[in-house]
């Protein structure tokens, strides 16, 4: 343990990466928390509509997270060898795939909103409100892959502050606009959840434009000319897609499975959806440090593997896991003891309050399991290029254990939403067992940078 804290190089690099990433994630989580709390003043129907409509952007963001994670594997390892041309080729591939996927999600949100939401809920009021919300936010979906791709390129090459600052500015403005447009403040009309949709769409566009402008004005690694973005040949793109595709498929299957959990909650009742949505906004806040730790781990471990320091990569993985265990234990305790205080901020009935309190209790104890899974799968296994095995570990327990258990609890046994939520933790427990086994085996370490020689500009 003494040696662990004496590793000054590890901690100096970690905090340089972790602080900006954590700040960015905190802004996102706070916005989601505050937005849910604002919408919560409008009642259970608005909360349910807001939550279910946001399932579409949730799916898109996780699709982009898959592309970003796959791209980051290569960018981090190429940066270990300072291979800028290959980094720009990866950026081009990421943009092409991301924009194609975002286009499909935009069509769903703009053309088929009611049909999509009818999958999750049978409440006509929820579907009507959510459909209007989707038609507005769908206009900003194409900005998501552009922002994501440039953020990954900048962050994985050590430029973590700029994306954070620009995100903070954009989404802080979004929070102000949310308040103004939901409740009709500062001379604005009171638009309810439609106001929240307008605010988030404007924020996404502003973040995208400002980030791309920064990348090119500062001549950063991401400032690629069109021909550099498209300079990849068939062997290169096949190599990238071979590693990226399992991560993307992983995120699609995982996010679809999580979305099916929402479908199950929605079929239990509107109060159940509202309760889980409120608890999820708290969990999003709690996950801020873990998302930052996982992303920092992916960059640091990927850099070490790219620099041919595989032993140090394994040492880093163990150090990150130790930190994660300590942080998750502390945050789990905070959630457990502050749950009733948090719920006072919501205008919800007694049933929804009881459901949300019980879900938060389960969430508090399960945090250590979920956080460990995120670190090992996203920050360790993927950083080592072990995308296919990590995808199987991440998705198989969800579809083979968690979803069947939750469906049985809800539709066969008729259990309340908090017991159904507890059943979803079974997949996380199975996943942790498999992920730890894979990490200890060291078979996740693959030097992808060695497969592509350094390219001269």
Determine the pLDDT at residue 134.
93
Q: Which residues lie closer than 8 Å to 211 by C-beta, 6 or more apart?
A: 146, 147, 150, 151, 162, 163, 166
Q: Is residue 139 part of a domain?
A: yes
Q: Is residue 77 part of a domain?
A: yes
Q: What is the pLDDT of residues 326-347, one digit of tens each?
A: 999 999 999 999 988 888 877 7
Does residue 297 contact residue 383 with C-beta atoms inside 8 Å? Answer: yes
Q: Is residue 455 part of a domain?
A: no
Q: For residue 191, what is the DSSP state?
A: -
Determine the pLDDT at residue 5.
53
Stated length of the chain? 457
Residue 348 pLDDT level (bands cut at 50, 70, 90): confident
Does residue 45 contact residue 123 with C-beta atoms inside 8 Å? Answer: yes
Determine the pLDDT at residue 457.
46
Arithmetic mean of pLDDT over the chain: 86
Determine the pLDDT at residue 156.
79
For 158, counting Cβ atoms within 10 Å of its Cβ (0-12 exposed, 13-18 middle, 19+ buried), the class is middle
Q: Is residue 453 part of a domain?
A: no
Q: Which of 24-38, 203-217, 360-374, 379-393 has the lowest mean pLDDT?
A: 24-38
Judged against a pLDDT cut of 80, whether residue 8 lies above it is answered with no
Determine the pLDDT at residue 449.
60
Q: Is residue 422 part of a domain?
A: yes
Q: Is residue 457 part of a domain?
A: no
Of the CA atoms within 13 Å of residue 392, those in its CB half-sphere come to: 5
Mean pLDDT across the stretch 355-368? 93
For 336, counting Cβ atoms within 10 Å of its Cβ (0-12 exposed, 13-18 middle, 19+ buried), the class is middle
Q: What is the pLDDT of residues 201-248, one digit of tens each?
A: 998 999 999 999 999 999 998 998 989 888 777 888 888 888 778 878
CA distance 268 to 420: 10
CA distance 53 to 151: 25
Q: Is residue 451 part of a domain?
A: no
Q: What is the pLDDT of residues 66-122, one digit of tens each?
A: 888 788 878 877 887 788 888 899 999 999 999 999 999 999 999 999 998 888 878
Mean pLDDT across the stretch 291-302? 88
Determine the pLDDT at residue 6.
59
**CA 377 to chain CA mean position, Å:** 13
Domain containing 120 equals: 2-444
Judged against a pLDDT cut of 60, whether residue 376 lies above it is answered with yes
Mean pLDDT across the stretch 132-155? 92
Q: Is residue 92 part of a domain?
A: yes
User: How many domains does one find in the chain?
Assistant: 1
């Amino acid at each position: 343990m003494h040696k662990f804290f004496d590793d000054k190089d590890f901690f100096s690099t970690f905090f340089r990466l972790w602080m900006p990433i954590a700040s960015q994630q905190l802004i996102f989580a706070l916005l989601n928390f505050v937005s849910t709390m604002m919408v919560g003043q409008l009642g259970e129907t608005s909360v349910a509509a807001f939550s279910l409509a946001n399932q579409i952007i949730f799916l898109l963001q996780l699709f982009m997270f898959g592309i970003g994670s796959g791209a980051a594997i290569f960018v981090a390892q190429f940066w270990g060898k300072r291979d800028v041309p290959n980094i720009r080729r990866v950026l081009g591939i990421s943009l092409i795939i991301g924009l194609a996927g975002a286009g499909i999600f935009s069509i769903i949100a703009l053309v088929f909103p009611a049909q999509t939401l009818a999958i999750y809920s049978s409440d006509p009021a929820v579907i009507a409100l959510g459909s209007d919300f989707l038609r507005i936010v769908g206009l900003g979906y194409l900005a998501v892959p552009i922002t994501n791709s440039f953020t990954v390129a900048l962050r994985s090459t050590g430029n973590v502050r700029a994306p954070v600052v620009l995100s903070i500015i954009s989404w802080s403005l979004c929070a102000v606009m949310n308040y103004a447009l939901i409740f009709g403040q500062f001379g604005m009309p009171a638009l309810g959840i439609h106001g929240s949709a307008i605010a988030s769409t404007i924020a996404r566009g502003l973040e995208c434009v400002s980030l791309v402008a920064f990348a090119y004005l500062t001549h950063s690694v991401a400032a690629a000319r069109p021909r550099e973005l498209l300079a990849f040949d068939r062997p290169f793109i096949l190599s990238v897609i071979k590693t990226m595709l399992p991560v993307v498929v992983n995120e699609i299957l995982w996010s679809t499975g999580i979305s099916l959990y929402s479908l199950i909650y929605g079929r239990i009742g509107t109060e159940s959806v509202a309760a889980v949505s409120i608890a999820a906004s708290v969990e999003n806040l709690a996950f801020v440090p873990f998302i930052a730790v996982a992303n920092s781990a992916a960059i640091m471990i990927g850099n070490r593997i790219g620099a041919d320091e595989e032993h140090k990569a394994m040492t880093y993985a163990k150090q990150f896991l130790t930190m994660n265990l300590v942080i998750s234990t502390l945050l789990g305790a905070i959630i457990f003891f502050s749950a009733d205080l948090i719920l006072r901020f919501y205008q919800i009935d007694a049933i929804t309050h009881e459901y949300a309190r019980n879900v938060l209790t389960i969430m508090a104890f399960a945090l250590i399991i979920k956080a460990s899974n995120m670190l090992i799968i996203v920050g360790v296994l993927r950083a080592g290029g072990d995308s296919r095995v990590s995808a199987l570990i991440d998705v198989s327990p969800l579809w083979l254990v968690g979803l069947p258990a939750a469906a049985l609890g809800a539709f066969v046994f008729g259990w309340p939403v908090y017991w159904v939520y507890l059943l979803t933790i079974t997949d996380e427990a199975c996943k942790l067992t498999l992920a730890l086994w894979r990490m200890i085996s060291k078979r996740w370490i693959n030097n992808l940078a060695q497969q592509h020689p350094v390219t001269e500009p």
